[in-house]
Amino acid sequence: MTGSLHRFANPARFQRLSQAALPWCTGGTIVAFAVGLYLSLIGSPPDYQQSETVRIMYVHVPAAWMALGAYTTMALASAIALIWRHRLADLIAQSSAPIGAGFTVIALATGMLWGQPMWGTFWVWDARLTSVLVLLFLYLGYIALINAFEDPERGARAGAILALVGWINVPIVKFSVDWWNTLHQPASISRFAKPALHPSIMTPLLVMAIAYMLLFATLLLLRVRTATIEHRLRTLAMARARG
């Protein structure tokens, strides 16, 4: 496994693999969003209680899932960077942070828009909303920390530690509706024995989730490719300055 990680961590190999994968991810993102938005806005029926406002769910829920998924990606990459000293893992973690922060902002904003007609207020300090807000602060704190040091290596190590410690908030976000009494509705997708969502709602939701995952993969590949080139240029500039 370690040998495979070392081979994959080679920047030149990553550039080749990412160059091949990027058109597929981009094309898949476009197709998935086209199908998902059609099913969400036109193909799915209004909810008997929430009426047309239920359509916010198709943007809000996948964004919330990807906010957690991006942070988990960041934490895993940080762990690999700390254990095996892979620079590429650092770049993956650092590239995941702004993307995950963006998903978190989308989740919070659409959740507020959805909450106002359902709860009569844009914001309540319940466990789910508060823990997602903490997640956003963790993203922003990570971004600030890795840029707070003149030495990029020290910043990367400090950020990796914060990412790993902060991951404890991910299961808190996920299970907050089960552990505490909140206004937020409980999980619906995980109920395999007795699904809480009709297929006419479940199908567009899952298609949108796939679209968000492909979007994350596309943006991550683009950011890591750019960061790899920038790191190479900085290394060459430093070597030239020493010489």
pLDDT score recorded for residue 234: 81
DSSP 40: I
Are 177 and 153 in contact, with CB atoms under 8 Å apart? no
Among 83, 75, 69, 101, which residue's Cα sits nearest to residue 160?
Answer: 75
Q: How many residues does the structure list for the chain? A: 243
Nearest to 201 by CA among 56, 75, 82, 102: 56
Asked if residue 41 has pLDDT above 80, the reply is yes
Residues 77-116 have pLDDT tens digits of 999 999 998 889 999 999 999 999 999 999 999 999 988 8
- The tokens describing 169, both together, are 């908030």
DSSP state of 1: -
- Residue 46 is predicted with a pLDDT of 86
Domain positions in the chain are: 19-181+193-242
Q: Is the dihedral of CA 37, 201, 61, 75 positive or negative?
A: negative
Global pTM?
Answer: 0.91
Question: Rounded mean pLDDT of the chain?
Answer: 89
Q: CA–CA separation, 150 vs 140, rounded Å?
A: 18
Q: Does domain 19-181+193-242 have CATH number 1.10.287?
A: no
Instruction: State pLDDT tens for residues 112-141.
Output: 998 888 888 888 888 899 999 999 999 999
CA 133 to CA 173: how far, in whole Å?
A: 10
User: What phi, psi does 51 have (nearest 5°)?
Assistant: 55, -135
pLDDT at 5 over 60: no
